[in-house]
Amino acid sequence: MWQEKIKNDLKWTLKLYALTLVLPLVLTIMNVLLVGILGIETTYGFLMNFKVIWVDYYFTGSFLNIDAWRWQLGLLFCAFLFTKISD
């Protein structure tokens, strides 16, 4: 019984945490449409934009002088707490 509850909580935590992917996915779609298809010139170019979006922003970047991986762990923990509190 409690194992199902933990599974369900973890499932909802991961669903909530997946919302952190919205911004990089939107930027990726914009890069493909604007730079790849329409040919708008950018500072970095088409492929380098993917590196800037995913690696420099999402994985190794920083926001308010806090590393991105710490933000990701904090968001995952907050999603878990939100899931537990909402029960």
Number of C-alpha atoms within 13 angstroms, CB side, residue 36?
12
**Strand, coil or helix: what is 63?**
strand
| Reported pTM | 0.71
Give the CA-trace dihedral at 10, 6, 9, 85, to 10 degrees. -130
Express each pLDDT in 4-63 by its tens digit: 888 998 999 999 888 888 888 999 999 999 998 888 888 888 889 888 888 887 788 777
Which of these, 21, 49, 17, lies nearest to 36 by C-alpha position? 49
End-to-end CA, the chain:
15
